[in-house]
Amino acid sequence: MDLGIRGRKAIVCASSKGLGKGCAAALAEAGVDLVMNGRDAAVLSRAAAELRERFGVDVIEIAGDVADPTVQRKLLSAAPNVDILVNNNGGPPRRDFRELDRAAILQGVTNNLVTPFELIKAVIDGMAARGFGRIVNITSLSVYVPIEGLDLSSAARAGLTSFLSGIARGVAEKNVTINNLLPGKLDTDRLRGPHDPNVPEDPEAAGQRKARLAADVPAKRLGTPEEFGQVCAFLCSIHAGYLTGQNIPVDGGLYVSAF
Ligand SMILES: NC(=O)c1ccc[n+]([C@@H]2O[C@H](COP(=O)([O-])OP(=O)(O)OC[C@H]3O[C@@H](n4cnc5c(N)ncnc54)[C@H](OP(=O)(O)O)[C@@H]3O)[C@@H](O)[C@H]2O)c1
């Protein structure tokens, strides 16, 4: 399907690996020029080179913490009339809520609520004035279903969801949409838990870990960053202009609800 966004420009935050990279790749496949981001400049540079090579699009690399206002300014000035914004960031580490002090709570809220909101605030009026805008926020299935130890993540992302719910309706008539993608269990480094990125996982142990994680998923497998990215690219397409303010689980059926 032609997504109708060839030549558009996208900022994809936290996109050097995992779900962000999956979104960047699917947008690049649709012909979208990218601004990519991640803290590790070498990893970011490899990911950007891969997408340039595979899809022939322009890719600008902005290395740094997306929560840092200086990095945000660089992201925004790399794409002054940006058409598509994909908000993403690392999630907080798993921690018992009793261990969270004020600084940790504020950090979690800054990363997963304040940062995406600040970026949206910076781009939304320009999108509305130009009559096209697509904003996708990678949140989490934990907005719907609590996950032990990730309470801070759930709270910040649920806050973002509510924050944007009214804002999405306010810009719908300008062909600007805001939707949230809720990953369930996707096969990224995040699901490996804390590990040394330079040490490859033993294939047998990896297979067992993934089977364990997928046991309660109706699809009986973990999702891939590529299929997650394709859902994101569709939401950013011209075909999805009438779809806004929604929370879309990408979870192989893990979230159970008839509605
Ligand atoms: N995978 C899942 O099943 C799942 C489920 C629910 C929710 N989520 C959420 O989805 C988001 C993406 O997860 P993922 O699975 O794709 O994780 P991942 O594979 O670990 O990738 C995270 C990406 O974000 C970048 N990043 C992390 N912190 C950053 C920061 N402060 N500034 C800029 N870039 C940053 C990382 O690069 P650097 O480390 O080099 O910065 C990397 O490119 C996370 O918020 C996660 O909590 C994922």
Report residue 2's pLDDT band, with 50, 70 and 90 as the boundaries. Answer: very high
Residue 195 pLDDT > 90, yes or no?
A: no
- Tell how far the Cα of 189 is from the centroid of ligand 1, in angstroms: 8
Q: How far apart are CA 231 and CA 178, in angstroms?
A: 14
Listed range (41-50, 132-141, 186-195) with the worst mean pLDDT: 186-195
Position 120 pLDDT exceeds 90: yes
Residues 177-203 have a mean pLDDT of: 92
**pLDDT computed for residue 227 by the predictor:** 98
State the Cα–Cα distance between residues 249 and 259, nearest whole angstrom: 12
Over the stretch 80-92, which tens digit does the pLDDT of each residue have?
999 999 999 998 8
Confidence of residue 165 (pLDDT cuts 50, 70, 90): very high
β-pair partners for 193: none
Q: Is the pLDDT of residue 236 over 90?
A: yes
pTM over 0.85: yes
Q: What is the pLDDT of residue 194?
A: 81
Please, which residues have CB within 8 angstroms of residue 79's CB and are 6 or more apart in sequence? 9, 10, 11, 35, 60
Cβ-Cβ contacts under 8 Å for 233 (sequence gap 6 or more) = 3, 5, 23, 26, 27, 29, 30
Tell me the percentage of the chain whose pLDDT exceeds 70: 100
pLDDT, tens only, 212-235: 999 999 999 999 999 999 999 999
The whole-number pLDDT of residue 196 equals 86
Asked if 12 and 44 touch (Cβ cutoff 8 Å), the reply is no
Q: Tokens at residue 183, please?
A: 């990953």
Query: pLDDT for 133-154, tens place per residue?
Result: 999 999 999 999 999 999 999 9
Q: How many Å lie between the centroid of ligand 1 and the Cα of residue 138?
A: 9
pLDDT band at 198 (very low <50, low <70, confident <90, very high): confident
> Is the CB of 14 inside a 6 Å radius of any atom of ligand 1?
yes
Q: In what order do the strands lie in the sheet with 84-87?
A: 59-63, 33-38, 9-12, 84-87, 133-138, 176-183, 247-250
Q: Residue 92: its pLDDT value, please?
A: 87
pLDDT given at position 136: 99
Going from the Cα of 71 to the center of ligand 1, the distance in angstroms, rounded, reads 17
Give the C-alpha separation, 222 to 215, whole Å: 9
Three-class HEC string of 28-58: HHCCCEEEEEECCHHHHHHHHHHHHHHHCCC
Q: Which of 11, 13, 16 to mutate to test the pocket of ligand 1 (most atoms within 8 A of CB)?
A: 16
What pLDDT score does 125 carry?
98
Mean pLDDT of the chain: 97
- Is any ligand 1 atom within 6 A of the Cβ of residue 94? no
pLDDT at 197: 82
Could you report the per-residue pLDDT of 70-79, keeping only the tens digit for each? Answer: 999 999 999 9
